[in-house]
Structure formats: structure tokens, C-alpha cells
Amino acid sequence: MRELGSAQPTAVELEILRILWDLGPSPVRDVHTRLNEAKGTNYSTTVKMLSVMLTKKLVKRDEQATPHIYSAAITRDRASKTILNELIEKVYDSSAMSLVLQALSKSKATKSEIDEARKLLDELEGKNEG
């Protein structure tokens, strides 16, 4: 889905961002420990991935700290909105409703989720009428 040279995070980069969102600012060793548990990666791969992510401006590095401390440069909310917008545009021909209908048809929504969706639809309908 990503074009070559895209600033969008890859699957592994997203995993690293999730780790940083969960742990907060962390040295490479802490990121690697969690990534290794999830993916079985080696230390040099983690270092390389963080370097690439730094270039892509997905993470920041505090070079004053020893060892260097990495933190996510984008919030979880921002990343999810960007990825979701790209998915809607490229897969669902810019139709958010198509995505919603597809998601709802693939899994059984709980009563609470249905109520939440109804509330959102009511709010959206109110905005469109006003």
C-alpha cells in the first residue's frame, strides 16, 4: 500500500511505535527487548530500524542522554488517522462508509459498539441537518 520512499510506517515500524507509545521514551535496549519478544529480531536490526525511522521522522532521539533515548515523533491517534485515511482512499475509493460496512459485516459487533455507532450516526445526522 505504501509507495517507495513513503513516510508511512511499515508493519515493523508500527510495532516499534507501539512499543514507544507503551513504554514512553526508551533506550534501544528496552525497545529491542520488547521487539525481540514479539518478533524475534536481533539487536542490530532494532538499531537499523530506529535509524531508518529517525530519517523518516517517525521517532526522535535525545542525543544528550547516554545511552540515546528514542521517543515516538507521532502520536498513536495521528498515526491511526493517517493510515486509516490512506486505507479509505486507496482501498475503498474514498468512501468511509464502505469501510464501516465492510468492518461491521466481518465481525459481530457488541451491543455497546452498536450503541456507540448509533450515537455517532445520530451526531453526524444532526450536523448535516443544522
What DSSP string describes 70-87? EEESS-HHHHHHHHHHHH
Confidence of residue 130 (pLDDT cuts 50, 70, 90): low
- The backbone torsions φ and ψ at residue 59, rounded to the nearest 5 degrees and listed phi first, read -130, 160
The pLDDT score that the predictor gives to residue 128 is 64
Environment class of 129 (CB within 10 Å of its CB; exposed 0-12, middle 13-18, buried 19+): exposed
User: What amino acid is encoded at 119 in this protein?
Assistant: K
Q: What's the pLDDT score for residue 1? A: 42
Flag whether pLDDT at 61 surpasses 70: yes
CA dist., res. 50 & res. 114, Å (int) = 39
Higher pLDDT: 98 or 73? It is 73
**Orientation of helix 11-23 relative to helix 76-91, angle to 10°:** 150
Query: Can you give the C-alpha Rg of the chain in angstroms?
Result: 19
User: Cα angle at 123 between 115 and 111, to 5 degrees?
Assistant: 5
**Contact criterion met (CB below 8 Å) for 31 and 46:** yes
**Helices (H) and strands (E) in the chain — how many of each?**
6, 3
Domain map (residue ranges) of the chain = 11-72, 92-129
In this predicted model, what pLDDT tens digit does every residue of 6-49 receive, in sequence order?
A: 567 888 999 999 999 999 999 999 999 999 998 889 999 999 99
Class of domain 11-72: mainly alpha
